[in-house]
Structure 1
Amino acid sequence: MTVIALRPPAPSLAADWKRRFFATPLQAVVSLLCLAVMVTVVWTILDWALLTAVFDPSRGAQACLTPGAGACWSVIAARWRIILFGLYPYDEQWRSALACLTVVAITVLSCIPAFWTARRLPLVWVAGTGLFYLLLKGGILGLPYEGEEVWGGLVLTLFIFVSTCLIGFPLAIGLALLRRSELPWISKTTGIIIDGVRSLPLISILFTFAIVLPFALPQSLIGDKLYRVILGSALFFSAYQAEIVRGGLQGVPRGQEEASMALGISYWQRVSRIMLPQAMRNALPATINQFVITFKETSLVVIVGFFEILASGNAAYGTGEWRFAYVEVYVFIALIYFVFVFSLSRYGAFLERRMAVGAR
């Protein structure tokens, strides 16, 4: 005779809360105190951010200094162009806006599975980056020329991030493959380069490429400081991403590579069609995390004199009229970072579920 074990019914929500938070008198007191603190904090933030906040910039900065006034969001309404576009000429800021939308379009297209091919995805990134650069730089198609010295704000942050990933990711794959080479002098030399870059802080690399490198190069190879900084950032990104890719390659069963060699499949076909697709799937969580870190690390370029979004935020409240409103400016910038980073991390979680990364 078969005995069927019946699962006990799940406790009700009230019973579950009682068990979790009010099991004993002391636990009930602590739970009520924590709830009171949470309600107080939430109400204080809500009152400051919305209920008593000042939104109308026409009232001027003095309206934010009246007793009982909350957040001074009028500084954002009055100075948002500086935060988003930096020193870019006012009449040409539509180009910066289109450039930002181009980055969003690149990201959206990269998230569509139909573009996940070896030809389409690089084409999207190369074409999108070229359009982004054309809109900012100008000089052709009737667009006035705007030098890199006037680029700033969010658009400069996005340009550095996109360029770093576009250059650093293929370089990371190359470094990972070179470190797995069967020739000791290639693998060891690549390992020294990767470990040497990873042992240095990003600020020191940016400072070296921006300030020190021109003293060691001939005048014809110096180039613009912005592109030297992007190369330094891409090198730093590639060193970390190369180890992530190499870890993904190590997760591919050795027998698959041996079987493909026995079938006479060439090295590049083995890498591009068998090894790398599985390696990138294995390395997906760490890769998404590296993209998130890279986006946030773009703020470090302010150290070498670039007018990115944080520096633009400093300029937005750096006048005598709005000097007191720095909290609101930084909250607005933090919200921008949050939107980009949270969207990227949520998409990474979606990919993990779609590909069943880590499933047993």
Structure 2
Amino acid sequence: MEMIVVAPSAPGRIEDLRRRFFARPLQALLSLVSLATMVFLAWKLLNWAIFSAVFTTSGGPEACQAAAGACWSVIAARWRIILFGLYPFEEQWRSALACVAVVVMTVLSCIPAFWTGRRIALVWGVGTALYYVLMKGGMLGLAYVGEEAWGGLALTLFIFVTTCLIGFPLAICLALLRRSELPWISHTTGLIIDGVRSLPLISILFTFAVVLPFALPQWLAGDKLYRVIIGSALFFSAYQAEIVRGGMQGVPKGQEEAAMALGMSYWQRIGRILLPQAMRNALPATINQFVISFKETSLVVIVGFFEILASGNAAYGTGEWRFAYVEVYAFIAFIYFVFVFSLSRYGAFLERRMSVGER
């Protein structure tokens, strides 16, 4: 006669909470105190940000100073400066459309239907060209606006997108050169990568923005914005190259040897065997590098650019709104949060889709 063994049922959610947070009297006391503290802080934050806040500009700065909550009136009054910076007021619709073009380009790049070389190149090429035409003008009946007048969110997105657009292919090239079988190539590339990674980004931006024009002829120096973008892309590529190289090292060596035995050329082995698997292995670190690069765009304020953080400083810099700096920084932090959280969630989606980490 067979004996039927019934596995004990998993504890319910309430039982699990009790076991984790209320198993002993001291643990229960600490849990209740922590819960009460979180509720208190949440209420204070909601009361400051919503219930006691001022949202309209009808009362002016005086109404905000008299209120007990946040002064969101400064956002309603100064949002154009925060989002568009020094861009001419009557042309700010172009800056807004440029931001939309970048966002649409990024969203299309995240759709699997566009994950082919030609389609992704078409999307990024058209999106970048549309952004540049809208921002700079001088054609199609649009008034010319120099790079020195670009600012706000549009400039932040432009620096981020062009940094990744230039830096990512450069990172792949550096990773391939570092794993070259010729020692003088691999060692020289490794020296370049390690040298760039050992420097802080601020020093690289300062060098490309201020020092480099003294060492180059005037016709080769170019505009300061593009020099800063090249410096930022070089810094991005040095870190991303090591990420890609780590992904390559995770691919079993026997696969490349089997491809060589089948008579596949070097570029066929790289494009069809090695890189697809390496990018899959390096996906979590790559998404993290994109997030870091987006946040590091705020460092260009050091070399005199009016990106979104500098625009926020100008928004409350006048005498009447000087007291509302917390609200301005909270609004800018929310913008950063939206973009960075979206990137991180998309990265998590890709990890689930590709089953990264599962074997």
Alpha-carbon distance in 2 for matches of 1:281, 1:18: 40
Partners of 2:262 and 2:256 in 1: how far apart? Answer: 10
1:65 maps to which residue? 65
Corresponding residue of 1:136: 135
Describe how 1:142-157 pairs up with structure 2 within 5 A: 142-157=141-156
Q: How far did residue 2 of structure 1 move?
A: 5.4
Amino acid at match of 1:51: F
Amino acid at match of 2:168: F
**Are 1:98 and 2:97 counterparts?**
yes
Q: Secondary structure of the residue that 1:145 maps to in structure 2?
A: coil
- Who is 1:257 aligned against? 256
Amino acid at match of 1:42: A
- In structure 1, the gaps of 5 or more residues are none
Deviations 1:147-183 (A, max 9, x none): 0011000100000000000000000000000111111
- Runs of 4+ in structure 1 off by over 6 angstroms are none
What is the Cα deviation at residue 256 of structure 1? 1.3
Name 2:17's counterpart in structure 1. Answer: 17
Residue 317 (structure 2) aligns with: 318
Deviates more, 1:27-36 or 1:341-350: 27-36
Q: For structure 1, which segment, 121-130 or 90-99, has the greater mean C-alpha deviation from structure 2 after superposition?
A: 121-130
Equivalent-residue separation in structure 2 for 1:338 and 1:143 (angstroms): 33
SS at match of 1:57: coil
Give the Cα separation in 1 of the matches to 2:27 and 2:248: 50
Q: Secondary structure at the match of 2:306?
A: coil
Q: Percent identity?
A: 79
The residue aligned with 1:304 is 303
Three-state SS of the structure 1 residue aligned to 2:202 is: helix
Q: 1:48 and 1:195, CA in 2 relative to 1: closer, same or farther beyond 3 A?
A: same
Aligned residue number for residue 48 of structure 1: 48
Superposition TM-score, scaled by structure 2 size: 0.98
- The letter for the 2-side match of 1:30 is L
Shift of 1:19: 2.1
Alpha-carbon spacing, 1:4–1:190, altered in 2? closer, same or farther (3 Å): farther
* 1:156-171 superposed matches below 5 A: 156-171=155-170
Q: 1:10 is paired with a residue of what secondary structure?
A: coil
Counterpart check, 1:235 vs 2:226 = no
Report what 2:293 is aligned to: 294
Equivalence map 1:109-124=2 (5 Å) = 109-124=108-123
Residue 14 of structure 1, CA deviation: 3.1
What residue in structure 1 maps to residue 179 of structure 2?
A: 180
Q: Is 1:37 paired with 2:37?
A: yes
Residues paired across the two proteins, number: 359
Q: Secondary structure at the match of 2:323?
A: coil
Query: What's the counterpart of residue 6 of structure 1?
Result: 6
- How much does 1:357 deviate? 0.5
Aligned partner of 1:28: which letter? A
Structure 2, unmatched stretches of 5+, are none
Could you tell me how far 1:330 is from its partner in structure 2? 0.3
2:347 alignment counterpart? 348
* 1:103-124 deviations in Å (ceiling 9; x for gaps): 1111110111111112111221
Distance 2:294 2:158 in 1: 10
The AA in structure 2 aligned to 1:79 is R
- Displacement of 1:4 in angstroms is 4.6
Between the aligned partners of 1:206 and 1:94, the Cα distance in structure 2 is 30
**Residue type of the partner of 2:6?**
L
Deviations 1:66-121 (A, max 9, x none): 1x420000100010000000010111111111111111111110111111112111
How far apart, in 2, do the equivalents of 1:339 and 1:307 lie?
21
The residue aligned with 1:82 is 81
| 1:215 paired residue number | 214
Q: What SS class does the counterpart of residue 140 from structure 1 fall into?
A: coil
TM-score (norm 1): 0.98
Mapped to 2, the partners of 1:16 and 1:192 lie a distance apart of: 53
Distance in 2, Cα, partners of 1:15 & 1:234: 52
Secondary structure class of the residue paired with 1:247: helix
Separation in structure 1 between the aligned mates of residue 8 and residue 45 of structure 2, nearest angstrom: 43
Matches within 5 A, 1:246-285: 246-285=245-284
CA drift at 1:3: 4.8
Distance 1:351 1:178 in 2: 28
Identify the range of structure 1 (244-253 vs 291-300) with the bigger mean alpha-carbon deviation: 244-253
